[in-house]
Homo-oligomer: A and B are copies of this chain.
Amino acid sequence: MANRFVEKLRGFADLSAKEADALERATADAQPIDPRKDLIREGDQPGPVFVMLDGWAFRYKVLPNGSRQIMAFLMPGDACDLHISMLAEMDHSIQTVTQALVATIERPVMDAIMAAYPGVARAMYIAQLIDEGTLRAWIVSLGRRSSLERAAHLLLELYSRAVRVGIINEGAMELPLPQVMLADALGMTPVHINRVLQDLRRSGAIGLQRGLLRITDPDALIRLSGFDGNYLQRRLRPAPR
């Protein structure tokens, strides 16, 4: 299996063979992690950068009343915040969804790579900007879209991101997220997301069963949700010089 992290960064900046190689080496020590394991918890001191080479994870926070909000999904190729280790404490937790392959890059190593290879630095910054744009897009969804629109929007986002990292097979992607997790990401109850997904299925917009998502009517979904993939920056600005 190719290194999905490197592949993703390649999409953001031209990486020389040397640069790609440095990244490959930095992520060579990847560890397999079981499903539903916290990689790091709220309150912990941040450590190295996590890189998801395979499998899914999510950022979340549990409120005093026990409800959980998911703030981001990490799919293969995604990494966590670059500079996170400057902070005293994590303000949220990160947990795997599936069996995963997670590499860790110590801060000094990452710094050295970025200092030595401007292409890598550029790609990492772009990845971070996109993550930030994604957070803002979620805020828009949670604040101003109905539950049906929100669900449609999230599925389109996940599909678009999956396209970027090349994990679409025959028009379908693996979506290993149970309905409870979708509910916790979308600010709904499990009961309600269940009904919403049924609506989307019945309308013929999506196919979703046994963890396989198929967007059968993209136009309808886009129209419904007002999805504009701009925040995922599918067109990037060319590097200067």
Contact = CB atoms under 8 A, between A and B. Distances in A.
A216 to B, nearest CB: 22
Contacts of A230: 42-43, 89, 91
A117 interface: no
A184 B142 CA distance: 11
Q: How large is the interface on A (under 10, 10 to 19, 20 to 34, 35 or more residues)?
A: 35 or more
Interface in A126-177: 126, 128-129, 131-133, 135-140, 142-145
A177 to B, nearest CB: 15
Nearest to A65: B226
A37 to B, nearest CB: 21
Given A59-B136, A136-B135, A143 B87 contact: no
Nearest to A126: B86
Given A132-B81, A143-B69, A144-B67, A89 B235 contact: yes
Nearest to A142: B142
Chain multiplicity (copies): 2
Contacts of A86: 122, 125-126, 129, 236-237
Interface string A55-75: 000010101110111011000
A125 to B, nearest CB: 4
Given A67-B144, A144-B67, A226-B63, A235 B88 contact: yes
A129 B88 CA distance: 11
Interface in A74-131: 81, 83-89, 91-92, 122, 125-126, 128-129, 131
12 contacts: A45-B237, A69-B144, A71-B140, A72-B136, A83-B125, A86-B125, A87-B233, A91-B137, A132-B132, A132-B135, A143-B187, A144-B187
